[in-house]
């Protein structure tokens, strides 16, 4: 499956958003970097899967708790409460995107260096226990 130009830009924005958030956390929860990271991440998500699909993803009844926590965390970061905002946002992120973690782990296990590390018995057992070994596909 090939990506359109808009989706490629969305992937880049999402990656930069995650990078800015990681740097913001490493710099002791710098509110400016976290806010920019949030804006880039959400904007990239809109471009990758489309506005309508993004709205339906966030508005599903079973994802409502995650949506409220994620948006609330973003608002707390914007209101200069970065530590509490990132904790609430992380809880919402896990509730929203937790279904994708087995797929991500399955993909990472097929990569050359990371896959070797993730397939060692102790690490593999621990990750399977945390994430779950069932793939949705």
pTM of the model: 0.82
One digit per residue, pLDDT tens: the chain, 137 residues?
688 999 999 999 999 999 999 999 999 999 999 999 999 999 999 999 999 999 999 999 999 999 999 999 999 999 999 999 999 999 999 999 988 888 888 888 998 999 999 999 999 999 888 887 655 55
Decide if 73 contacts 95 (C-beta within 8 A).
no
Distance CA 15, CA 123 (A): 26
109 phi/psi in degrees, rounded to 5: -70, -20
Helices 31-49 and 64-78 pack at an angle, to 10 degrees, of 140
- The three-class DSSP label of residue 15 is helix
């Amino acid at each position: 499956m090939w990506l359109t130009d808009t989706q490629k830009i969305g992937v880049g924005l999402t990656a930069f958003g995650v990078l800015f958030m990681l740097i913001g956390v490493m710099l002791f929860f710098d509110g400016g970097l976290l806010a920019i990271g949030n804006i880039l991440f959400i904007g990239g998500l809109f471009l990758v899967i489309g506005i309508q699909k993004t709205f339906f993803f966030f508005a599903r009844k079973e994802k409502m708790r995650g949506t409220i926590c994620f948006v609330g965390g973003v608002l707390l970061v914007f209101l200069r409460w970065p530590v509490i905002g990132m904790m609430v946002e992380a809880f919402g992120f896990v509730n929203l995107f937790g279904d994708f973690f087995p797929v991500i782990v399955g993909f990472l296990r097929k990569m050359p260096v990371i896959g070797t590390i993730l397939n060692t018995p102790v690490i593999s057992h621990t990750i399977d226990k945390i994430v779950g070994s069932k793939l949705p596909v």
